[in-house]
Structure 1
């Protein structure tokens, strides 16, 4: 057990992990998870794009790929509101743009009307693409995860932690929006005066 801790203790002595967002040990830990989230998000996007490219010649961003699979989830139609809620997004115009792209690619179809409510579901092509994607995901991604010792428990704990952090970020965002100050307009030439004052 001590041998496992030595590399991290040595690393802590050799590397400066502090920066403007990481001034205390707790801030360092939060900054580390945020930085890991950013990199994981990008890696996840790369994986999604490459996996989809093995199935169909269709260029989709990570969020567009995610929307396709969420539309397919439980094989039930979903509204734009459903999709926004399920993905924790409020950028409705971007969601609608992605949906238009998926519609144009023949992967999803739109049903209903403005009064009755518009929903989206996968087409037969979308169904085949998502099934094939799931097959490739199982062979390449899930098998790789299986080879990591105790990974199932780590994933469960990570999912709980991320859900908890999502709630904390949402609450902190609401507090920031509530207490946002109105910033004064800079005086004309003020920047020059400040920089030239020294």
Structure 2
């Protein structure tokens, strides 16, 4: 007889329309975890930035603001997109305009050998970022300190997610070349 405190995970049928084999189940469970993690991360970004700024900033707004501030070096839109693995440049440009209206970033000139427009954080933008960093340390980082071995686990998770990013990118490229259903691809 099984102890009430021990959960028998083998009794659960983990198959569904996306997964019937052990590998498919593992990938699907990772993807489902990604969905949930992304939504939770997005909520944290929105609430953390709201608390730090008093402004209505989306998760994307906060991410772009932090990327622009990264390494205290101005960034162009192409670099911002690359660092966030985004190819929706129109949406990045929209966020840039919004952050400029909020006076959190500004256009800047850089080395004359470089063409294009670059952005840097303003003093107000750095104040928001500093407050966000403080809040992040007091809330998010502190919560992770309760988990033994968390640094190693997060490092491993980051490596797996980076690897999966490359795999998803390659799969997306192949799928993009077969946008119209090709019967031989589904055989």
TM-score normalised by L of structure 1: 0.84
Indicate the residue corresponding to 1:133 in structure 2: 132
Q: SS of the residue aligned with 1:109? A: strand
Q: Specify which of 6, 21, 26 is matched with residue 23 of structure 2.
A: 26
Render the CA deviation track for 1:21-53: whole Å, top value 9, x for unaligned.
Answer: 111111111011111111111101111111112
CA-CA distance at 1:12 after TM superposition: 2.5
1:46 pairs with 34, 43, 47, which one? 43
SS state at 2:75 partner: coil
Residue 88 of structure 1: CA displacement?
0.6
Other-structure match for 2:173:
174
Runs of 5+ in structure 1 lacking a partner? 184-198
Q: Which has the larger radius of gyration?
A: 1
Quick one: distance in 2 between partners of 1:118 and 1:72? 15
Show the counterpart of 2:66.
Answer: 69
Is 1:118 the equivalent of 2:121? Answer: no
Alpha-carbon shift at residue 182 of structure 1 (Å): 5.7
**Runs of 4+ that moved beyond 4 A:** none
TM-score by length of 2: 0.88
The aligned residue for residue 11 of structure 1 is 9
Count the aligned residue pairs: 175
Cα-Cα RMSD: 1.8
1:192 matched residue in structure 2: none
Distance 1:88 1:98 in 2: 15
Counterpart of 1:156 in structure 2 is 155
SS at match of 1:67: helix
Separation in 2 of the partners of 1:159 and 1:38? 16
